[in-house]
Amino acid sequence: MNPYVKYAYFLSPEEFIEEEAGLKARAVKIYRARRMVCELLHPQREAGIALPEVWNKNCRRQGSWYRSSSHKGEILVVTSFPLEGRRGVKIAPSDFQLCQRPNLEEVRMLAQSPAYLKVKPVEWETIDGFDREQFRLFRQGLLKLGLATPEESEEAFDSVFPGHCANHANFIEPGFYLEREGKKIPYSLGSTLRVCSACVELFDLLGDQFEEKLVVLCPGAVVSTGLPPDRYFSVTRV
């Protein structure tokens, strides 16, 4: 079996039409995401796309990061091979293991950092009943897969959400990172149960100023792809 690797690109509609023709000429089957963009990470999908409206579906609040980005209106393309001449990111498993977690005060400081507050979409922190129910269902899904304990599946959204904000903030102005050859490599601040909308970092909506990031999948990504929880993935520019 080939090692897991994905390549992700944002293309204009015109650029996608060009790439689609090339993929079809190679008899590559193109999967279309239905409810969540992370469906494209599934190991058995050689190529897939998420149209802009997919960001408004299951993860509509989280999709505000896409809608407020320079990629709004573009089509996300994820493949198991690089697209020649396109700029994007490569996503591959990493051996990195988290050794330093932020304490409650550090979480608060990250979630209130000026850099984070400047760019966060208003909708991201506008919580409603849909969000709380989605949070519960994802955790119940992990419980059924044996990837969460009953106690973890019953955690309250409000107790975890500040960590979600801090995690995104860490890819804007990192407080927690590795340093290699003088360059920062920010990483997710917790396990799968402690992060949300990993797509924001995996697909380079946040952290595109860094040559590498280390990202843990969120509950939705694990449930929709069968990929392992708590495993870090290296995201590098190509």
What pLDDT digit, counting tens, does each position of 180-214 carry?
999 999 999 999 999 999 999 999 999 999 999 99
Gap between the Cα atoms of 68 and 150, Å rounded: 36
Q: In the structure, what pLDDT confidence band is assigned to residue 101 with cuts at 50, 70 and 90?
A: confident
With 70 as the cut, is the pLDDT of residue 219 above it? yes
Gap between the Cα atoms of 30 and 2, Å rounded: 19
Gap between the Cα atoms of 112 and 165, Å rounded: 9
Position 2 scores a pLDDT of: 74
Tokens of 219: 């509950």
With 70 as the cut, is the pLDDT of residue 153 above it? yes
Angle between helices 157-169 and 104-111 (to 10 degrees): 60
Q: In the structure, what pLDDT confidence band is assigned to residue 160 with cuts at 50, 70 and 90?
A: very high
Residues 110-134 have a mean pLDDT of 96
Residues 55-80 have a mean pLDDT of 97
Burial class of residue 128 in the structure, from the number of CB atoms within 10 Å of its CB (0-12 exposed, 13-18 middle, 19+ buried): exposed
With 70 as the cut, is the pLDDT of residue 174 above it? yes
At residue 215, the 3 state secondary structure works out as strand
**pLDDT tens-digit profile of 1-55?**
579 999 999 999 999 999 999 999 999 999 999 999 999 999 999 999 999 999 9
Tell me if 191 sits within 8 A of 230, measured CB to CB.
yes
Question: End-to-end distance of the chain based on CA atoms, in angstroms?
Answer: 24
User: Number of C-alpha atoms within 13 angstroms, CB side, residue 134?
Assistant: 19
24 — phi, psi (to 5°)? -65, -35
Burial 198-222 (b: 16+ CB within 10 A, else e): bbbbbbbbbbbebebbbbbbbbbbb
* Contact residues for 137 (Cβ-Cβ < 8 A; gap 6+): none
Gap between the Cα atoms of 185 and 174, Å rounded: 9
Position 99 scores a pLDDT of: 83
